[in-house]
A and B are shown apart, each in its own frame.
Chain A
């Protein structure tokens, strides 16, 4: 069945990784959900580029961090933190579009 990320994750957050990058952390509730998310191959640079209307070249590699059951994605900030035109100096409120990402997980994994 399809699972929504907001139901599968314990943490979904965004934050600066330095003033030029915005990094997203998705920490899954269980090892099974993390593995199902990885196996689904839904989490790609194309997906992130589409959700945030940025070029794929502006999305850094997607990283799976096994010890934290986490998937990370990083994008280039269109406006550098705190400069004229910036909207979110800490980058801490840019995560919401991730909530509705869906991926396939088997029933016993939930």
Chain B
């Protein structure tokens, strides 16, 4: 039976991997190396600001090793969601690094695929009633589109297959549906789409789907016409039915039907079987092709500028009264700066409900000390600094009811006590629009 092998070096380009694992993968003669370089998980800042969330030196280290491996084996290297968020500035950043790598390694035919979407296109989609929000997302407005610093769309397999057909040695794509980079070559060669994408869904996080899991180690996927097998390349790990099945439901609200730009991966009939100590075989995954394919678009807008102050509280009387005390500070700040129309003031009380806020079912606190962050966000940078400073000084010297410690209420670990934390972004676009031809322009470079 014919087989195709896909090597996934690391969960995110720049997270690293042991060279021994990668060499063990190359020794098995893979047909393609694919890596996902991004995610929305680190939050809206990186897409909004056009900045990568991975370290440049770490990305260059990973790219150098996998590029060398791909050129040596004469197999394609496919990188999706370059630069972390897959916008044009992220793609450019990753491309520069790859050019540096190639300048030391040799020549290659490089395909660069943009995921940038013109705002005019999305405004047209809104006019035509063609946008759909994802679950729990408000309907898309023209203002959301205009506010977004950049809009990207998650491409599916088609643009990557087009690059492969153009003879690209290395494909660097902007925002991309994570499994697509792993599934594109198998699907181009006629392997079943559902199985190829399901294998991609598991490989996209590399060894996170192994036991013990790791985001910094390699995984191999071997696909045939009836199923696929996945196994790690480091002898300290193994894939188990549990680890692979568990990864299938990771970060998804409904694990039976996984929606993507090319269609729906259907796992209703899917089975996971341990075939040796380290390998799991998956069969039965189907695919429902979309009659009207939609792509997911993403965008973030500036929400303001943040100033924070960090302090510890050890006084038991103050800890008992913390909610009332902070309410007093909030009211005093509102008397000075007006009700919070132009700024957002948050108190994060670690040791009480700092992690869960209003969702926290535990009431009160048993902790003998609290960690406090005064967190202010305002569009006016100066106002953000002023509200934080005023709240901090008010709290420091507030003579709260029952107080016997009259020298100061806060233990500051730092001088200066206030930290300008810079621009804050928020997601404003997370919707579906119809897929159209030539949505993802490609450029071929001989480097």
Contacts and interface: CB of A to CB of B under 8 A. Distances in A.
Interface in A23-80: 23, 25, 27, 51-54, 58, 60-61, 63, 65, 67-70, 72, 74, 76-78, 80
B425 A21 contact: no
B297 to A, nearest CB: 13
A17 B251 contact: yes
A19 B255 contact: no
A98 B358 CA distance: 16
A63 B42 contact: no
B188 interface: no
Interface stretch (B130-138, B177-185, B323-331, B436-444): B130-138
Contacts of B267: 67
Interface string A67-98: 11110101011101111111111100110110
A20 B427 CA distance: 9
A20 B354 contact: no
Interface string A1-35: 00000000011000111111101010100000000
B364 interface: no
Contacts of A74: 135, 253
A19 B40 contact: yes
B202 interface: no
Interface residues of A, number: 45
A20 B377 CA distance: 20
B361 A97 contact: yes
A10 B242 contact: yes
Most buried by B among A53, A60, A80: A80
Contact of B357 (A16, A61, A82, A87): A87
B424 interface: yes
A20 B426 contact: no
B93 interface: no
A51 B40 CA distance: 27
B286 to A, nearest CB: 14
Contacts of B255: 63, 65, 68, 70, 72
Contacts of A61: 254
Interface residues of B, number: 45
Given A68-B246, A78-B358, A94-B356, A21 B253 contact: yes
B136 A20 contact: yes
A7 B430 CA distance: 38
A60 B135 contact: yes
A95 to B, nearest CB: 10
Contacts of B348: 87
Contacts of B377: 84
Interface in B210-250: 242, 245-246, 248-250
Contact of B426 (A11, A25, A80, A97): A80
A15 B426 contact: no
Most buried by A among B242, B256, B359: B359
Given A25-B249, A78-B359, A84-B303, A67 B344 contact: no
Contacts of A60: 135, 253-254
A4 to B, nearest CB: 15
A23 B134 contact: no
B361 A53 contact: yes
A4 B137 CA distance: 34
Nearest to B344: A84
B446 interface: no
Given A53-B359, A97-B361, A89 B135 contact: no
Contacts of B359: 52-54, 78, 94, 97
Given A72-B255, A88-B356, A90-B42, 10 more contacts: A19-B40, A19-B427, A27-B246, A53-B359, A53-B361, A60-B253, A65-B249, A65-B256, A67-B271, A94-B355
